[in-house]
Chain A
Amino acid sequence: MASILEIRHVSKSFPGVKALDDVSISLAAGSVHALLGENGAGKSTLIKIITGVQAPDAGEVLFDGASMRFSKPREAGACGIGVVHQERNLVMRFSVAENIMLDRLGAHSLSRVDHTAIADEAVRWLKMLDLDIDPGTPVSRLSVAQMQLVEIGKALSLRSRVLLLDEPTASLTPNESAALFAIIRKLKADGVAILFVSHKLEEVFGICDTVTVLRDGRNVCDSVPLAGLNRQDVVKMMIGRAEQLARRAPRSKPAASPLLELRGYSSDAGHRDVNLTVRPGEIVGLYGLVGAGRSELAKSVLGLSRQTGGEVLLNGQAVHITSVASALHHHGIGYVSEDRKGEGLILLHSVLDNAGITIWQRLASRFGLLHDATVAREVGPVIAKLEVKTPSLQQTIGNLSGGNQQKVSVAKWIAAGVKLLIIDEPSVGIDIKTKAYLHDLIHELAGRGTAILLITSDMPEMVDVADRILVMDRFRIKGEVENDRVYERVSQAIMTFIHDRKAA
């Protein structure tokens, strides 16, 4: 197969580090190419070079055999290279059609916008993606999955012959992902070259034809067929050693009386009649599709939305929690947010401040005095134990990699010694090694008696980590699945509860 886009021996340095060192990759028409590597391996730098955001120091970019030098993302777009970034890049208040046609709304800045023509053009692309929505709908009313498809539509409408998808399924449910894959296969049949970046190997093996693996800015392999490889081979290439596939045995049931119990709980976030118990030492999973109300339930229990009915019991005592501060300081409840950068960490501040924020109040002297050394004495061992890679505790946390940031956002609750830890999507955007580490850590915490409520949309993660799984749909608990680690059975049982909605 002829390659449309070829990257040859590209290197790129930033002060202090070589992000890419002699990297090559070649994308063929009508094939799906997986780009794999841990965080910091150089994937994003490579994407930036392909899309013209950054220029390579050495090497060349060949498009249709001709050497190109993109200096702006627009130039790459004009050539037919479309990209869908991990973050959404849509104008929320604009319509679907306006978003798809955003840079072609009129011949020039002051010309009248022909809404009919734009809608017609947009519908063409929506149809191609089997997306049955009115082009006049504001994007803000779409689901996350629909927004993703609109972005793909936008990229395709530029007549893209190369489509880069950066972690397209990060915020999609299994069903939505399956629908996306069907579209990817269709595009492939139409001759589009697709570069697929993902941390989820199941997906990679499901739809990709060839694979390029980067490690520490170098090619471990360059555009080899995926057919001859198995999961272990790929993981080995990514992390430099074989993955420890130690399937955990189901844990024995803790007998202690429940630490947290919700009885007929309702909230003004929309929850109705929620019953839930978490015992000390138990890992309770809360599974559901995006928008099922899981994070909202966690935040409601923390006092961020009002309880409108039912009871919350901690150690058998009815309590009324009105703020996160009281949830932490009086009741020992912690929450690891799914939105690490927005809600979990203060990126501007140091590792020490981020890890110590939960214990300042406890450590401060009678006059409110608090010395860095005092905080470091408490936080240092936890940071060290979690193997957070940082030059010092004073390092600004925004400079650390995603995996290390996530470790710190867990570390602060360990330092606070919480009795109940609610963990929301622990492995979004972090590498395999850290993910496995966090799973071990959750088990270790539970082993020491911490009650864990785990929220995740990652089914393998849920099956691997939780003791039992509650299924939530539309702000209600639909049922409970005992987790015996048999993936097929457990995932089937979960999906049955969710698809039960038509019958109900």
Chain B
Amino acid sequence: MTTAASDSATTPEPGAAEVPRPSVTLQVLLSNEFGLAALIAVAVVIFATSLPGFTSPFSLFTLSRQIGIDTMIGLAMMAVIVTGGLDLSVGAIGACAAMFFGFGLEQLGLPLPVAIVFALLLGAGLGAINGITVVRSGVHSFIITLASMSIFFGVMIYLTQAKGFNGLPPGVAAFGRMKLVGPVSVLLVTTLAVCAGLLVLYRFTALGRQMLSAGANARAAELSGIEVGRTLIFCHALTGALAALAGLMLTARTGAAVPSMAGHLGQDWLLPAFLAPVLGGTLLTGGRVSVIGTLLGATFVTVITSGLLLMRVSEFWVQAFLGLMLLAAVLIDKARHTLLRRRGMI
């Protein structure tokens, strides 16, 4: 099929060969995913041997549940980092969707599946509003989503009078407690299913490829016949839908939809949202993602956090530690970027 292309591999051009090509094994060993997996393994071994409660079924259950939620938050941000942009309003969208979910169940008496679909659609819609504004105005998504974060959250607080929905059907909380395969939370299983879906999207669909090309070089993508504006709006809508799903998962965990579930303006989500994809090797400049990396990044953060908390390290120190970790991850991202530039790939 590609005979000539592979034949020429034996006679590499001098210009092309200036770049060292590490072996496949070395590439795997140097990859983010492998590094993260190794770090997770080390952390788990240390915590499991030094902290007696770490491997208890309850601890493993809460750990898996938290990994599920944090990964979902990270995936939401990852879907927009693909474009080289970001979305500060993920937490606000998540809270809006969760509150709408509670409203639909409690006040409108919607059946559970319908309420879920509506909440996800609301999330996608709010994301699409971000996307349309970014594309039409040409202003960086940082400013647009900083504004929309306040708007979404403010309108939600006005409409709900800042009151939560506590009378959700028992099925919601039961889902949050449900275990599959031993102590593994069903929330993690949900997240894994979404990961699989995103892997297919980015790897095996035309839309996913269009998203990556528009993110890597919007101008070149447009001149190659990609409808860049529409693609970017899709990315933002996907972020909104995933943030909504994370909001619903959080609702299932607490058994109630409360406006403060993601903190004021949804800001509590921002740290995990950026940590997971950036640690996982998603390029902040766009055009390259790692779904598995995001899953591993969130897992690493969750394992470290719960380990530290079990060691009775104060919550504030844990926050400071996570901030440091984000900084380190961003610096690694920058180093990666410099490496790519030096190789003439950006």
Please list the residues of chain A having a beta carbon within 8 angstroms of any beta carbon in chain B: 14-17, 19, 39-42, 216-217, 302, 323-325, 327-329, 335, 337, 342-349, 353, 357-358, 360-361, 363-364, 367-371, 376-377, 380-381, 383-385, 387-393, 396, 398-402, 404, 412, 416
Report B180-208 residues with CB < 8 Å from chain A CB: 200, 204-207
Q: Of all chain B residues, which has the CB nearest A349?
A: B216
Contact B8 A390 (CB under 8 A): yes
Contact B1 A358 (CB under 8 A): no
11 A-B pairs whose Cβ atoms sit less than 8 Å apart in the complex: A16-B20, A40-B18, A325-B227, A329-B225, A337-B220, A346-B287, A357-B213, A368-B205, A384-B4, A391-B12, A399-B19
CB contacts (< 8 Å) of B217 on chain A: these are 342, 345-348
CB contacts (< 8 Å) of B25 on chain A: these are none
Tell whether B226 is near chain A: CB-to-CB under 8 Å.
yes
A17-B18, A391-B12, A398-B345 known; A344+B225 contact, CB < 8 A: no
A40-B14, A344-B223, A348-B288 known; A368+B206 contact, CB < 8 A: yes
Q: Of all chain B residues, which has the CB nearest A391?
A: B9
CA distance A325 to B11 in the complex (A): 37
Smallest CB separation, B214 vs chain A (Å): 9
CB contacts (< 8 Å) of B213 on chain A: these are 346, 349, 353, 357
Tell whether B49 is near chain A: CB-to-CB under 8 Å.
no
Contact B345 A348 (CB under 8 A): yes
Contact B220 A344 (CB under 8 A): yes
CB contacts (< 8 Å) of B344 on chain A: these are 347, 398-399
CB contacts (< 8 Å) of A335 on chain B: these are 223
Contact A393 B225 (CB under 8 A): no
CA distance A345 to B345 in the complex (A): 10
CB contacts (< 8 Å) of B66 on chain A: these are none
Please list the residues of chain B having a beta carbon within 8 angstroms of any beta carbon in chain A: 1-6, 8-9, 11-21, 200, 204-207, 209-210, 212-213, 216-217, 219-227, 283, 287-288, 340, 343-346
Q: Of all chain A residues, which has the CB nearest B203?
A: A372
Q: Of all chain A residues, which has the CB nearest B6?
A: A392
CA distance A353 to B205 in the complex (A): 12
Contact B14 A15 (CB under 8 A): no
Which of B1, B20, B346 is close to A380, meaning CB atoms less than 8 Å apart?
B1
Contact B21 A217 (CB under 8 A): no
CA distance A328 to B226 in the complex (A): 9
CB contacts (< 8 Å) of B9 on chain A: these are 390-392
Q: Of all chain B residues, which has the CB nearest A38?
A: B15
CA distance A324 to B213 in the complex (A): 15
- Other than the known A329-B225, A370-B209, what 10 A-B pairs have Cβ atoms closer than 8 Å? A19-B14, A19-B18, A40-B18, A324-B222, A342-B219, A360-B209, A369-B205, A383-B2, A392-B6, A399-B16
A40-B15, A323-B227 known; A384+B2 contact, CB < 8 A: yes
CB contacts (< 8 Å) of A377 on chain B: these are 1
Contact B223 A39 (CB under 8 A): no
CB contacts (< 8 Å) of B219 on chain A: these are 342-343
Q: Of all chain B residues, which has the CB nearest A14?
A: B18
Q: Of all chain A residues, which has the CB nearest B212?
A: A349
Q: Of all chain B residues, which has the CB nearest A16?
A: B20
CA distance A335 to B14 in the complex (A): 29
Contact A343 B220 (CB under 8 A): yes
CA distance A477 to B225 in the complex (A): 28
Contact A388 B345 (CB under 8 A): no
CB contacts (< 8 Å) of B207 on chain A: these are 368
CB contacts (< 8 Å) of B21 on chain A: these are 16, 391
A329-B225, A343-B219 known; A16+B4 contact, CB < 8 A: no
A16-B20, A348-B346, A371-B204 known; A404+B13 contact, CB < 8 A: yes
Smallest CB separation, A337 vs chain B (Å): 6
CA distance A329 to B227 in the complex (A): 11
CB contacts (< 8 Å) of A324 on chain B: these are 222-225
CB contacts (< 8 Å) of B227 on chain A: these are 323, 325
CA distance A399 to B200 in the complex (A): 27
Contact A390 B5 (CB under 8 A): yes
Which of B16, B18, B220 is close to A404, meaning CB atoms less than 8 Å apart?
B16
CA distance A416 to B226 in the complex (A): 13
CA distance A242 to B19 in the complex (A): 30
The 8 closest A-B pairs by CB, nearest first: A40-B15, A398-B345, A384-B4, A15-B20, A401-B15, A328-B225, A364-B206, A40-B14
Smallest CB separation, B221 vs chain A (Å): 7
Which of A325, A337, A368 is close to B225, meaning CB atoms less than 8 Å apart?
A325
A383-B2, A383-B5, A392-B2 known; A401+B13 contact, CB < 8 A: yes
CB contacts (< 8 Å) of A385 on chain B: these are 4
A380-B1, A396-B345 known; A217+B14 contact, CB < 8 A: yes
Smallest CB separation, B10 vs chain A (Å): 9
CB contacts (< 8 Å) of B16 on chain A: these are 40, 389-390, 399-401, 404
Contact B209 A376 (CB under 8 A): no
CB contacts (< 8 Å) of B8 on chain A: these are 387-391
CA distance A368 to B209 in the complex (A): 11
CB contacts (< 8 Å) of A369 on chain B: these are 200, 204-206
Contact B14 A348 (CB under 8 A): no
CB contacts (< 8 Å) of B220 on chain A: these are 337, 342-346
CB contacts (< 8 Å) of B15 on chain A: these are 39-40, 401-402
Smallest CB separation, A322 vs chain B (Å): 11
